[in-house]
Structure 1
């Protein structure tokens, strides 16, 4: 019988920092070596990320950081704006934010691979619905809190 490891949990902010470096073309090995070595860029994006926090995580919890980079992660707790930011940073997609009273959601056109990536990182309490056809091979999905 094969033992399966559960994904490590990252804060939403640490996940954004990690994905921001990936979006700059950093490989897993680049992430492991450069972040632990403190060889970090200055972020000039609208987010103004301070990658020192990610270096501190790698220093304080090296195994957790290594597993997050190599095996993937799940976000501990998502916010609606954090989900939109993750989609922007990790996937390069400008998602639509809906903030009507009683209905908070993010709407995004995603491919099947992008949908799978997002589904794998979302924290407990969120669902992805929809999947209606959009342009090309992308579909429109709605990410929203699970209604109880």
Structure 2
């Protein structure tokens, strides 16, 4: 996937979060695809309490889309501020800052360039990822990014 290109597969935010949760199991892409298609899925004890039935239904109904999402990545159809925050937690294991002030909603996270690129590729239309200038608090090799709704 080239820089700035969006994957063709589109997933709902919940399916994307469910898929990312399963990716933490350490399975290969092929194992993950097979397990979801067979319904051979673990019980989720995280705070999200994922029920993977929706993901299994998607895989059964749209096998090509599901397989493409696992192998080549995906774009989320519609993000919410809390969904972006949860995605960063599940995928990168980072507790990002959530700003819920009306008119100034944002998610702020310290990300590597690779993490920022991956996040940018999944964000739905209407969201933008902005690098924050000169942030001394960012960890080694990471920079501070702010994810905000596009102002129309």
Bin the TM-score by the shorter chain: over 0.9
Match of residue 139, structure 2, among 104, 129, 135: 135
State yes or no: 1:84 paired with 2:85.
Answer: yes
Q: How does 1:1-148 map to 2 (within 5 A)?
A: 6-132=7-133, 133=135, 134-148=138-152
Greater strand proportion:
1
CA RMSD, 1 decimal: 1.5
Report how many residues are paired: 145
**What are structure 2's unaligned runs of at least 5 residues?**
none
Structure 1: segments with no counterpart, 5+ residues: none
The 3-state SS of whatever aligns with 1:81 is helix
SS of the residue 1:100 aligns to? coil
C-alpha deviation, 1:26, in angstroms: 2.2
How big is the shift at 1:130? Answer: 2.1
Q: Which moved more, 1:105-114 or 1:131-140?
A: 131-140
**TM-score, reference length from structure 1:** 0.93
Q: CA deviation at 1:24?
A: 2.1
* Larger mean Cα displacement after TM superposition, 91-100 or 132-141: 132-141
Which sits farther off after the overlay, 18-27 or 36-45? 18-27
**3-state SS of paired residue (2:27):** coil
- Of 49-58 and 131-140, more deviation after overlay is shown by 131-140
Instruction: Tell me which stretches of 4 or more aligned residues in structure 1 moved more than 3 Å.
Output: none
